Amino acid sequence: MKSARIEEMASIQPKLQKGDEIRVIAPSMSWHRKQQAAYERAVKFLESQGFVVSFGRNVKAEERFGTGPVEARLQDLHDAYADAKVKAIIALGGGWSANALLPGIDWELLRRNPKPLIGFSDITVLVNAVFAMTGTVNYLGPNFSGLGRRKGSEYSRENLLNVLTGSQPPSLVKSRQWLREDAGPLVKTRPWKVLQAGTAEGTLVGGNIGTFYLLQGTPYQPRLDRPIILAVEDDDEAGKNSAREFDRRLESLLQLPGMRENLRGVLVGRFQPSSGVTLPDVAYILTRMQLGGIPIMYDLDFGHTWPMMTLPIGGEVQIRADNNLTQVNLLKW
C-alpha cells in the first residue's frame, strides 16, 4: 500500500561515518547554473569531511517553473532510498512544489530503507511527511547549495555535522554572526529572545510555515496526539504583508485538532530583514495567540537567514528558555 500511514514513534538512525555516501537530489528547484561554484564548494567541503558525494541522475531536469518533471524527481528520491551505499540524502535547494511528489512516493520503500533527508524551505513538506509516513527522523537544515556559501558557513556546517555524526554534545546554541543581506558583511547575532520562560520536551515538527501548512488535511501531516514542540519560520514572499501572513498561518496551525492541547513549546526562526517583520511584530503575534505558560523563543538561527542550525524533525527535543540560558537540547534524534 503506497499511501498507508505507518508512523509510530520516531526511529533513531545510525550516525554517519567517514566513507559514507551522501546523495544530492532536487525534489524542488533544479540545478541552477549560477550556483555552480557553490555546488563545487559544497562537494569540496563534504569530501574534506570524509564523505562521498553523488548526484541524482535528474538534478538538471527542468520544466516550465524551474523544477524537474514529477516522475523524474520521484525516480531520484526512490533511487537514493533504494541504494544501500547512500546513508543520507540532501536537497539541492528549496523553491516550489515538492508537495507534488507526496502521492507518488513509495512509502514502503522508504520505511524499509531508513536514512535521513536534509533540507529546508520547500523541503519542509518532505522532512515532515517522511516522518509522518515512516517514523524516521529527518533534518530541517541547510540545503546542499547553502553548504557552498562563501560567508558565515562555519556554524551551519558544524551544526549539520554534529547532528548527523553525533560527534558533539547534543545542545544547540546561537551563532556568533549572521548575514543581514547576502552580499553584506557579517554582523553580531542578537541573543535569542524569550517570550515565555520554562522547560519543555516533545517531538519536534514544523519548518517553513507557508510550506508546512500545505500538509493540513492530508495523510502526510505528522500526528499531533503527543507532546509537540513546534518550530516555525517564514520567508519574505508575502512582501509588505509578511507579518500578517505569518500571523494567519500560525493561527491556522493552532486550529488543527490536537495542536493546542499537545503543544509544549514554540521556536520561531529569524526573519529576513527584507520581510519587514520586526521583533515587536513577532512578540505581538505570539502573545495574541494566548498559548498558555509554555516556553516560547524567537529570533533563532533557522529559516531563511544565514547561518542556520540543524533541527531533527520527528526527534525528541528539550527547550530551556530563561533570561540567562536559551538552548535547544537534542534528546533522541
- CA 131 and chain centroid, separation: 12
Q: Which residues contact 3 (CB under 8 A, 6 or more apart)?
A: 103, 107, 133, 219
Residue ranges and CATH numbers for the domains of the chain are 21-165 (3.40.50.10740), 171-332 (3.50.30.60)
The pLDDT tens digits of the residues spanning 108-162 come to 999 999 999 999 999 999 999 999 999 999 999 999 999 999 888 999 999 999 9
Report the C-alpha gap between 57 and 165 in whole angstroms: 27
| Residue type (1 letter), 267 | L
Report the C-alpha gap between 269 and 284 in whole angstroms: 15
Query: Nine-digit cell at 172?
Result: 544547540
Query: What length does the chain have?
Result: 333
Nearest by Cα to 125 from 161, 100, 149, 148? 100
The pLDDT tens digits of the residues spanning 78-119 come to 999 999 999 999 999 999 999 999 999 999 999 999 999 999
The pLDDT tens digits of the residues spanning 185-210 come to 999 999 999 999 999 999 999 999 99
Q: Is the pTM of this model over 0.85?
A: yes
Q: Is 50 exceeded by the pLDDT of residue 215? A: yes
Nearest by Cα to 92 from 15, 153, 38, 18? 38
Q: Is the Cβ–Cβ distance between 55 and 40 less than 8 Å?
A: no
Strands 177-179 and 186-188: antiparallel
Average pLDDT for 54-62:
96
Q: Is 90 exceeded by the pLDDT of residue 180? A: no
- The residues annotated as belonging to the active site are 121, 233, 304
Place of cell 547512500: 86
Nearest by Cα to 281 from 308, 325, 241? 241
Question: What DSSP string describes 241-273?
Answer: GHHHHHHHHHHHHHTSTTHHHHEEEEEEEPPPG
| Residue type (1 letter), 172 | L
The pLDDT tens digits of the residues spanning 61-76 come to 999 999 999 999 999 9
Average pLDDT for 17-30:
97
Choose between 35 and 81: higher pLDDT. Answer: 81
Q: Which residues contact 51 (CB under 8 A, 6 or more apart)?
A: 16, 18, 19, 20, 21, 22
